[in-house]
Structure 1
Amino acid sequence: MPKLITVFEDRYSLEPISNEHRMELSSLESIWGRQNISFSVDNRVLLRKYVGFIATPSLQLQILPKLYEDAASAEDFEEEKRSSVRMLFRLLASSGFLSVKDIPEPQLIAAMNGDLLEIFIHIFIKRFLELFQKQIHRQYEDFEGNLAFIRGRILFQRQLLRNGGFKHKHYVSYQEFTEDNLLNQIIKATMISLRTLTKNEENKTSLSHALLLLEDICPIRLTESMFQRVRFNRLNEDYRPVFELAKMFYLNRQPGVHAGDERTFTFLIPLNQLFEFSLYQWLDKGLSSDDWVVRYQTPQRYLDAEKEVFLLRPDITIACSRAGSDTPIEMIVDAKYKNPISEENTRLSESDVYQMLAYAVRYQCNRLFLVYPVFRANKYFQNPLATYLIHNGNQEIRISALHIDIASEDLDQIQKEFIKLICHFFES
C-alpha cells in the first residue's frame, strides 16, 4: 500500500523520496509539465504551480499551498499541513471554483491524517448516505423489449418482426419509475473504484455500506459521455454535489492526459488561478452594483493593437458602470501567490511591476493592486506593503501591494476587510 507523501507547492520536500517514487513522478510529467517538477541532488522533490493530489497503485502524493515561508522543522510541517488543508477547502467553498461546499473540521483532518484524497472520499460518501436516507433517487426510465405479459404499449411492427406468430411474447415499450437509473449507476461505479483505493477504515466501511444500499443498481463501466447525459431537475437537484464529486474523481480535474484512467486519481488545480478566482468572487460579491462592474480576465487587449502582439489579460478589472457602453477601467487587481517580503523588506518582482505598468498604459487605468497571501512571518506587516507612484505625463499611476490572510478561520471577515481596503486606496 503506497505511503502518503505530502509536499508544499514551490518548496522542496522535507524528506528525500525513494528512487521508485522518483521514477513514478517523472513518468507523470505530462500531468504537471516538465518545467514544474525538479529534484535536488539528495532526491528531494519540488513541484510548482499545482495543488491537490495524485494517487496511483504505487504512489500517493499531495501538494498543498504553503503558508509558512519560513517552515523548516517537522513540528511546523504537521501544523502547516493541517492549516493548509483547511484553507484549501475554504477557498474552494468560498470561490465556487469547485462545487464542494463542505469545509472539513480539524477533527476530520486529523482523523484522515491530512490526506486530501481521503477527505474528498469522506465528503462524497457522507453526502450520499445523508441524501439516500432522506430520499432515494428514482426517475422514469424507458424500457423496450420482449415480455411474457403486456405492459405499456405493444410496438406492433417490431412485434411482427421479432415474434412472428408467437403469442406468448409481446414486444412492448413503457416507462418505469426506478432507482436503477444512470445517476445512481454513475455513483455506484465511482464507489467501487474508490473502495479499491481508500486506506481509511472508516471510508472503507462507509463505502461498503453504501454499495449494499445500491445492490439493485446495475454495475456499469464509466465513460465521459455518461456524465454528459445526466440532466438535473427539481427531483434530483439535491444529488448534484455528489454527482460533481463523482465527475471530479472520474475526469481527474487536472491538466494532463489521464482523464478516465481508473488506476490514476488526480485533483490538481493551478494555485495562483484558485487564489485569483477567489479574489474575483469576493470583489464581484462585494462591489458589483449599479455603480461597479467586476470582470474576470477581461477585457483582453493587445499592448500593440495595430500589430496584435503582446496580449494582456489582467486577472480582475473593475469598471464604472455609470459610463454606459464605453466603460472605463477604474481599477485593476492582479493576484500573486508568492511571498513579497524578504529580509524584513517588501521586495516586489520587477517583472510584476512592469506587468502592472503595461496594464496601466494600455487600459488607461491609474489605480492598480498587486495582492499576495499573508505568510506566517509577515503577519505583522501593515497594508499597503508598498506603494509606487509613476508619473505618466499629467497622470499619476499608483501601484499598491497588499496582502490578505486567506488562512484565517473567519474568511467572511477577511473578504469584508479586503473590499474596504480596495475602496479605501481607490478613494484616496
Structure 2
Amino acid sequence: MQVLRTVTVVEHALIPVMEDAAHTAVSDRLTPVAPYITSHEAEALLKINDRHPGFCQRTVGAVKLAQHCGIVRAASCVLEIVPKVGITSDGDDASRGRAALLSMLHQAGRLKVSAIGSAQQGAVRAPLLEIFIQEFLLCALDVAQSGLISRYVPQSGDLTVVKGRFHAQGQLRHNLARPHLLHCEYDEFTVDNLYNRIIRAALDACRHWAKLASSQRLWFELHARLTGVAQVRVRSADVRRLRYDRQTLRYRAVMQWCEWLLELASPDLRTGSTAAPALLFDMNKLFEDYVCRREELKEADSPNIVIRQGPQRALIMQGKRSVFTLKPDVTVWKKASANAPFSLDRIVDAKWKSLNPNSDDWGVDEADIYQLLAYSKRYRCARLELVYPRPVDKNEGCVPPVFRIDDGEAGRVTTITISMAPLI
C-alpha cells in the first residue's frame, strides 16, 4: 500500500504547488523540507469547495486556505490543517494548534477526546489523523467491552435438522442429491449485524494509517473482539441512515467516528475521482459552540438562563415583513427577584479573529462593534461582550479594553467588554 506523506499547515496558509520531481530538486538544497502539494492534489482541494464553500482558492503557484481546520486525504498525501493560536509564528505552532483544536472539539461537545489530558499541557505532537484513529479505537473498545449488541439476522443454509422454517423450493434446488440435508430459513441471534459491521469496516479502513505502537496495539485488541463480525463494504452514507433505539444509543458516538473514517477512506478516491475526502471543521462555528458551552458552564450554578443562537429578532419591520434578522450567539437572562420575569442581562458574540494588543483598539473590527450596537438597540441591552481566542503566547499583563458608549439617554451607558477565551 502506498505510504501517504503528511503535510501540516496552519489555517489561512499558502501551500506551494509543485510536482514531486521539482520539489525533490529543491529539497536537496533546503532543510527542512517545506510543505507542498502537487497540481493533482491542488485540483482535489478545490473540489472540496463544493461541500465546504470557501475552503480554499487557487492563487499563482499556490493554494490559499481559509478558516477550516482538520484533515484532507488527497491521492498521495494527508493534509493536516491546524488553527493559528499564537500572535507570532514559531516551530511549535502545529503542536499547539492541534492541542487547541482538540480542546475546543471536546469542550464544545463535538466529540469526546481522551487525548485532552495531553492537550491541556499545551502541545500535541502526533498528527491529527493518528489522534483521531486512537480516539475511534478507544471509543469502539469501550463499546465492545460493555458488550457488542446482538440482533436476529435472517439466515439460510443446509442443516441436518430442521431449524426455523423448512424451504421446499430451496431443498429441490440445493439438496436433491443430498437427502440427508435440509434447506432451512431461520433467524440467528448474532453480533454479526450492521452496527458491528460498520465498526469492523472502519477498523479495516484505518489499518495502514495507524503508525504509533500504541495505536497498533489498540487496533489488534479491537480486531480480536470483532472476529465474529463479517467484513463487508460499507460507505459513510450507510452510517448516516442508521436508526437508534435504547439498546443502540450507546453506539452513537462510535458511529460518528466510523462515518468520518469511512469518509476519509472513500472508494471514490481509488476509482479516479478528483474529490478528496475530508474531515473539516469551520473554526468560526466551532469557536461559537466553544464559547456557548463556556457560558453554559459559567451559569450552571446560577438561576440564569443561557440561550444559544437567539432569540431571533428583526432589526427593521417593513410593514409585516421583517428585514435584517438578528441572531446573537449567546444571550444570558436573569431574574431580579424570585417572582419577577426573566430579563436580558447580557449578549455575548464569539469572533474567531486575532487581536492586536499593540493597537489602541486592540484591532477590534469596526463591523463587530456596529453589530453589537444593533443588538443593543433592538434587544434593549446595555451589557455586551465580544469574545476572541486568547493567543497562547500573549503576555498575561495585557488586559483587553472595555468600550463605554454614552447613547445620550439619561444615565444609560452601553458597555462592550472585550474578552479572550483560553484555547489550551
Same fold (TM > 0.5): yes
Counterpart-to-counterpart distance in 2, 1:6 and 1:80: 10
Query: RMSD over aligned Cα, in angstroms?
Result: 3.6
- CA offset at residue 193 of structure 1? 1.5
Residue from 32, 46, 52 that aligns with 1:26: 46
Give secondary structure in 1 for the equivalent of 2:116: coil
Tell which deviates more after alignment, 45-54 or 372-381: 372-381
Residue from 103, 106, 109 that aligns with 1:93: 106
- CA offset at residue 7 of structure 1? 1.5
Q: After superposition, what is the alpha-carbon deviation per residue over 1:333-391, rounded to whole angstroms, capped at 9, x for unaligned?
A: 01111122253431211100000011111111111000111114533354442323241
Q: Which amino acid aligns with 1:338?
A: K
Counterpart-to-counterpart distance in 1, 2:217 and 2:112: 25
Residue from 145, 148, 153 that aligns with 2:159: 148
Match of 1:367 in 2: 383
- CA offset at residue 322 of structure 1? 6.7
Match of 1:117 in 2: 129
Q: Does structure 1 residue 10 correspond to structure 2 residue 12?
A: yes
- CA offset at residue 242 of structure 1? 2.7
Give secondary structure in 2 for the equivalent of 1:244: helix
Give secondary structure in 1 for the equivalent of 2:88: coil
Give secondary structure in 1 for the equivalent of 2:206: helix
CA gap of 1:8–1:381, structure 2 versus 1, over 3 A, is: farther
Unaligned runs of 5+ in 1: 253-257, 408-428
- CA offset at residue 275 of structure 1? 1.4
Residues 281-320 of structure 1 mapped to structure 2, 5 A cutoff: 281-288=293-300, 291-306=303-318, 307-320=321-334
Residue from 85, 93, 116 that aligns with 1:67: 85
Counterpart-to-counterpart distance in 2, 1:251 and 1:154: 40
Residues 8-407 of structure 1 mapped to structure 2, 5 A cutoff: 8-12=10-14, 15=34, 17-20=36-39, 21-33=41-53, 35-38=54-57, 41=60, 43=61, 45-71=63-89, 76-77=90-91, 79-103=92-116, 105=118, 113-129=125-141, 132=144, 134-149=145-160, 153-154=164-165, 159=167, 169=182, 171-176=184-189, 178-198=190-210, 200=212, 203=215, 206-207=218-219, 210-211=222-223, 213-223=225-235, 224-229=237-242, 231=244, 233=246, 239-251=251-263, 264-288=276-300, 291-306=303-318, 307-320=321-334, 327-341=342-356, 343-345=358-360, 346-391=362-407, 393-394=409-410, 395-407=412-424
Is 1:302–1:308's contact at 8 Å kept on the other side of the alignment?
yes
Match of 2:19 in 1: none
Counterpart-to-counterpart distance in 1, 2:287 and 2:394: 18
CA gap of 1:18–1:186, structure 2 versus 1, over 3 A, is: closer
Unaligned runs of 5+ in 2: 17-33, 271-275
Counterpart-to-counterpart distance in 1, 2:341 and 2:269: 50
Give secondary structure in 2 for the equivalent of 1:355: helix
Counterpart-to-counterpart distance in 1, 2:324 and 2:417: 24
Give secondary structure in 2 for the equivalent of 1:305: strand
TM-score, normalised relative to structure 2? 0.78
CA gap of 1:193–1:200, structure 2 versus 1, over 3 A, is: same
Tell which deviates more after alignment, 3-12 or 362-371: 3-12
Counterpart-to-counterpart distance in 1, 2:121 and 2:74: 23
Counterpart-to-counterpart distance in 1, 2:93 and 2:302: 42
Is 1:95–1:281's contact at 8 Å kept on the other side of the alignment?
yes
- CA offset at residue 25 of structure 1? 2.6
- CA offset at residue 222 of structure 1? 1.3
Give aligned-pair identity as a percent.
23
Q: After superposition, what is the alpha-carbon deviation per residue over 1:67-116, rounded to whole angstroms, capped at 9, x for unaligned?
A: 11221xxxx22x12112212221221122122445426379998x85310
Instruction: Tell me how many residue pairs correspond in the alignment.
Output: 388
Give secondary structure in 1 for the equivalent of 2:407: strand
Counterpart-to-counterpart distance in 2, 1:363 and 1:174: 61
Identify the structure with the greater helix proportion.
1
Match of 1:421 in 2: none
- CA offset at residue 135 of structure 1? 4.8
Q: After superposition, what is the alpha-carbon deviation per residue over 1:117-142, rounded to whole angstroms, capped at 9, x for unaligned?
A: 1111122224434654x455141323
Give secondary structure in 2 for the equivalent of 1:180: coil
Counterpart-to-counterpart distance in 2, 1:261 and 1:334: 40
- CA offset at residue 38 of structure 1? 4.0
TM-score, normalised relative to structure 1? 0.77
Match of 2:21 in 1: none
Counterpart-to-counterpart distance in 2, 1:3 and 1:105: 25
